[in-house]
Structure 1
Amino acid sequence: MSFELIAASAAITLALVFYTVGVFSERRSSSLKLSHVIMFWCGLVFDTTGTTIMTNIAQTSGATGFGIHAISGLLAIILMLVHAIWATATYIRRNERAEKTFHKFSTLVWLLWLIPYIIGMLVGIPMIHLQTVCAVGTATLVVAAFAFFLLRRGAAKHSDK
């Protein structure tokens, strides 16, 4: 495995860690804190870094085209950027109503970001190496299961109040 591939995989995995910790600690605390905003920005930086390295690897290996993984990855980075900017603005404004809306958006962005992450794993790990169509379907099913679990937990949490 090349150094570039290790660096890209590590960066994208760090993005997963920062983003997941940021989103779920924000969900748990029900308030947006500076530490959450910092984690969102760190997730964006690491994801962008890893994606840039992966793009360079693909270009130097002669890969052509702009497949579903690349498109979904680019959309995920754009969503993460919007999310980080919105988190920063919401944190600075300290508007309670905006924070409630932000909490829902935060989970949605995390779920959507997870799709290209899982696709990349399923296509890129040699022992798994699914075809793109199968990887997209599998990633979508995994994220749908996460969404179902999170929505169910959220509904149960609100019915207890």
Structure 2
Amino acid sequence: MSLELVAASSAITLALVFYTIGVFSERRAGFLKKSHVILFWCGLVFDTTGTTIMTNIAQTSGATGFGIHAISGLAAIILMLIHAVWATVTFLRRNERAEKTFHTFSTLVWLLWLVPYIIGLLVGIPAIHLRAVCAVGTSVIVVSAFAMVLFRRAKTRKSH
């Protein structure tokens, strides 16, 4: 494995760690803290860094086209940017109603971000090495299962 690939994989995995901690600590707290906003921005920076390195690797290796993984990855970065900006604005304004809306959006963005992460994982691990179509289907199933659990838990908490 090349040093470039290790750096890219590490950066994207750090994005997963920062973003997951940010989203779930914000969910647990029930309101936005400065630390959540910082974690969202860190997740975006690491994901963008890792994706940029991966793009360079793909271009260097002569890969052509703009496949579903690239499209979903770009969409995820755009959503993360919108999410981080909205988190910053919501935090600075201290609007309780906006924070509740943000809370749901935060979880949705995290779930959507997982799709390209899981696709890359499934396609990139030699022992698994699924074809792109199978990886997309598998990632959507896994993320859907996460979504059902997360939103069912949230619904159960609200009814108590």
Under a length normalisation based on structure 1, what TM-score does the superposition of the two structures give? 0.99
Distance 2:127 2:91 in 1: 43
Structure 1 residue 143 displacement after superposition: 0.1
CA deviations 1:47-73 (Å, max 9, x no partner) are 000000000000000000000000000
Distance 2:90 2:79 in 1: 16
Distance 2:107 2:30 in 1: 12
Distance 1:151 1:82 in 2: 22
Distance 1:137 1:37 in 2: 31
Instruction: Report the equivalent of 1:25.
Output: 25
- The answer to whether the aligner puts 1:15 opposite 2:31 as a matched pair is no
Identity %: 79
**Where in structure 1 do 4 or more consecutive aligned residues deviate above 3 Å?**
none
Structure 1 residue 151 displacement after superposition: 0.8
Structure 1 residue 125 displacement after superposition: 0.6
CA deviations 1:107-158 (Å, max 9, x no partner) are 0000000000000000011110000000000000000000000011001000
Structure 1 residue 103 displacement after superposition: 0.1
CA deviations 1:56-93 (Å, max 9, x no partner) are 00000000000000000000000000000000000000
Structure 1 residue 23 displacement after superposition: 0.1
Instruction: Report the equivalent of 1:5.
Output: 5
Distance 2:49 2:128 in 1: 24
CA deviations 1:33-56 (Å, max 9, x no partner) are 000000000000000000000000
Q: In the alignment, residue 46 of structure 1 is paired with which amino acid? A: F
Unaligned runs of 5+ in 2: none
Instruction: Show the 5 A alignment for 1:115-154.
Output: 115-154=115-154
Instruction: Report the equivalent of 2:155.
Output: 155
- The answer to whether the aligner puts 1:34 opposite 2:69 as a matched pair is no
Under a length normalisation based on structure 2, what TM-score does the superposition of the two structures give? 1.00
* SS of residue paired to 2:31: coil
* SS of residue paired to 1:127: coil
Instruction: Show the 5 A alignment for 1:24-103.
Output: 24-103=24-103
Distance 2:155 2:41 in 1: 29
Distance 1:73 1:154 in 2: 27
Aligned pair count reads 160
Structure 1 residue 94 displacement after superposition: 0.1
